[in-house]
Amino acid sequence: MLMLGFCVLAPMSDAIAKFLGHYVPLGQLLVVRFAIQVVILLPLVWWARQRFWPGRRVFWLLGLRSLLHVIGIGAMFTSLRYMPLADTLAIAFVMPFIMLLLGHFVLGETVGPHRSVACAVGFAGTLLVIQPNFATVGWPALLPVLVAVTFALFMLVTRLVAKTIDAVAMQALSGVQALVILVPVVVLGHGTHPALQMITPDWFVASLLLALGVLGTLAHLLMTWSLRFAPSATLAPMQYLEIPIAAVVGWLAFYEWPNGLAAAGIVVIMAAGLYVIAREQMLSRHPAL
């Protein structure tokens, strides 16, 4: 139920970001998103008496993780301005295949022929989704690929530090680091680029900004808490529920629906991704395969 909550709240947060992207500059959108994360999570860290300050090596790795988080969310918010919600999310779900390749080339993990073929099929499905969007909006259709690469690296770094710091404390510290990165860029770059402008929102936009930060933070907390009660191999297939839920949210909020080619690509991506997850589960039980 916790992972299902994540799969519902995350597309809702993305839908709000898509709407706000037409009214609020990207820099301000990101600052508010991470500021609300810090405001929510720091009291939780204090209440749970978690260790907030890790060692120097972990601190710098978390800094890299925070930078990747900022780039990934920034690319996601930008792509949502131009593309349907479900299409954007489906292309970003090429991330598990990229993680598989990074695990092979960076961590030396074995990737057999079954998963290699599934990766190729998943990338083919991604091209099916990109093609009609690229024809319509041009280069922004490639931004979800940047999201996938960035978050694959983000997850790789997370795997390196996850056992050394509590998940909530990690998210709180990452929020602080993200603000340290973002605030000087927005302040010093004010007036030099439209994405770095600042606006005074009306009450409606301000309420949506608050909802964006709360939903985004709560969604990731639900995912983090779900991993305390069930292994990731059990929960990973559920995350693909995000795509059909995003399609429904996109239709209700923006009257968007994937066209025939993009819908076929989404099905291919989901099938290939679920096969990779099933193969990982089988190999964990029977390594000889």
Q: Given this model, what pLDDT does residue 283 score?
A: 62
Q: What is the mean pLDDT of residues 198-216?
A: 93
pLDDT at 284: 61
Average pLDDT of span 120-141: 77
pTM (whole model) above 0.85:
no
**For 251-271, what is the mean pLDDT?**
80
Label residue 178 by pLDDT band (50, 70, 90). Answer: very high
Q: pLDDT averaged over the chain?
A: 82
Position 289 scores a pLDDT of 54
Better pLDDT: 226 or 233 = 226
Q: What is the 3-state secondary structure (H, E, C) of the chain?
A: CHHHHHHHHHHHHHHHHHHHCCCCCHHHHHHHHHHHHHHHHHHHHHHHCCCCCCCHHHHHHHHHHHHHHHHHHHHHHHHHCCCCHHHHHHHHCCHHHHHHHHHHHCCCCCCCHHHHHHHHHHHHHHHHHHHHHHHHHCHHHHHHHHHHHHHHHHHHHHHHHCCCCCHHHHHHHHHHHHHHHHHHHHHHCCCCCHHHCCCCCCHHHHHHHHHHHHHHHHHHHHHHHHHHHCCHHHHHHHHHHHHHHHHHHHHHHHCCCCCHHHHHHHHHHHHHHHHHHHHHHHHHHCCCC
pLDDT at 83 over 90: no
**What share of the chain in percent tops pLDDT 70?**
88
Q: In sequence order, what are the residues at sequence separation of 6 or more whose Cβ sits closer than 8 angstroms to the Cβ of residue 122?
A: 94, 96, 97, 268, 269, 272, 273, 276
Among residues 91, 71, 93, which one has the least CA distance to residue 82?
91
Residue 150: pLDDT above 80?
yes
Residue 117's pLDDT band (cuts 50, 70, 90): confident
Residue 18 has pLDDT above 70, yes or no: yes
Higher pLDDT, 137 or 11: 11
More confident residue, 212 or 99: 212
Which tops the pLDDT comparison, 241 or 32?
Answer: 32
pLDDT-based confidence at residue 86 (cuts at 50, 70, 90): confident
Q: Do 168 and 50 contact (CB within 8 A), yes or no?
A: yes
The pLDDT value given to residue 75:
93
Lowest mean pLDDT among 161-175, 179-193, 209-223: 161-175
